[in-house]
Amino acid sequence: PRPIWLTRHGESEFNAQGRIGGDSSLTERGDNYAHQLAVWISEWCKKVKLETGYEGEVVVWTSSLKRAIKTAQYISQPKVVMRALDEIDAGICDGMTYEEIQEKMPDERAARDSDKLQYRYPRGESYEDVIQRLEPLLLELERTTQPVLIVSHQATLRCLYSYLTGRVKEECPFLNVPLHTLVQLTPKAYGCEEKTFLGDK
Ligand code: F6P
């Protein structure tokens, strides 16, 4: 059974400033995580080769955003950039902090608080929209036989994790997907075995 790994990108400039969305680069901490991740994957490959003789590749899927691409940059495995993995589009709120949204657009904040799953940012997306745009990717993931590492973002990973672990979608916008954490899901006959690795240093 092949593992599927899910990770958010390393800490970005916008994460450090508390801003949502954008296309900022990694901070030094984020870049450290990128190094840690590459070491972890290469050690996993070595270990599996020793134990099972598997010499195949790990496929790395990243979003098209700089912070995800840079998080995968030190991994020497084939990479595919997929726009379906981009973060939820926060529309007119892109680049703002949650406090700024609360201050300048209290009605938007209230609407989101009352139904986070269906709330769609003006000129942006809702969690429901993200779930829909991830459907073809999930089919492809199920067809792929190699181990896959997905480097993406908080909202998209909540949706993927929630689907893969069989949760109801109402839970999805509230799942905890911390930075600098690698979640390993191994499909089993019933459900998924779940382990987490790495974490902040
Ligand atoms: O703050 C990081 C981030 O990935 C934002 O870019 C995104 O809008 C947000 O998390 C999604 O989380 P929530 O839906 O809880 O606002």
Two tokens, residue 181 = 């954490």
pLDDT of residue 39: 97
**89, 65 Cβ separation under 8 angstroms:** no
Report the first-to-last Cα separation within the chain, whole angstroms.
30
Protein residues whose CB sits closer than 6 Å to any atom of ligand 1? 15, 20-21, 87-88, 90, 153-155, 173
User: Which of 126, 153, 170, 175 has the most ligand 1 atoms within 8 A of CB, as the residue to mutate?
Assistant: 153
> Using one digit for the tens of pLDDT, what is the confidence trace for 34-76?
999 999 999 999 999 999 988 889 999 999 999 999 999 999 9
Query: Looking at the annotation, which residues are catalytic?
Result: 8-9, 15, 67, 87, 153
State the distance from the centre of ligand 1 to the C-alpha of 154, rounded, in angstroms. 6
> Using one digit for the tens of pLDDT, what is the confidence trace for 140-178?
999 999 999 999 999 999 999 999 999 999 999 999 999
> Using one digit for the tens of pLDDT, what is the confidence trace for 182-193?
999 998 888 899
pTM across the whole model: 0.97
State the distance from the centre of ligand 1 to the C-alpha of 113, rounded, in angstroms. 14
What ipTM was predicted for this assembly?
Answer: 0.99
3-class secondary structure per residue, the chain: CCCEEEEECCCEHHHHHCECCCCCCECHHHHHHHHHHHHHHHHHHHHHHHHHCCCCCCEEEECCCHHHHHHCCCCCCCEEECHHHCCCCCHHHCCCEHHHHHHHCHHHHHHHHHCCCCCCCCCCCCHHHHHHHHHHHHHHHHHCCCCEEEEECHHHHHHHHHHHCCCCHHHHHHCCCCCCEEEEEEECCCCEEEEEEECCC
Q: Return the residue whose CA atom lies nearest to atom 13 of ligand 1.
A: 155
**61, 138 Cβ separation under 8 angstroms:** no
Q: Output the known binding site for substrate.
A: 8-15, 67
Whose CA is closest to 85, among 146, 14, 138, 20? 138
> Using one digit for the tens of pLDDT, what is the confidence trace for 90-117?
999 999 999 999 999 999 999 999 999 9
State the distance from the centre of ligand 1 to the C-alpha of 162, rounded, in angstroms. 16
Give yes or no for residue 201 having a pLDDT over 70. Answer: no
User: Which of 9, 154, 159, 177 has the most ligand 1 atoms within 8 A of CB, as the residue to mutate?
Assistant: 154
Give yes or no for residue 86 having a pLDDT over 80. Answer: yes
Give yes or no for residue 29 having a pLDDT over 70. Answer: yes
Give yes or no for residue 199 having a pLDDT over 90. Answer: no
Cα separation, 76 vs 95, in Å, equals 32
Ligand 1 nearest-atom number relative to CA 19: 1
Strand order in the sheet with 59-62: 79-81, 59-62, 148-152, 4-8, 181-187, 192-198
How many other C-beta atoms are found inside a 10 Å radius of the C-beta of residue 4? Answer: 21
Two tokens, residue 164 = 């893969």
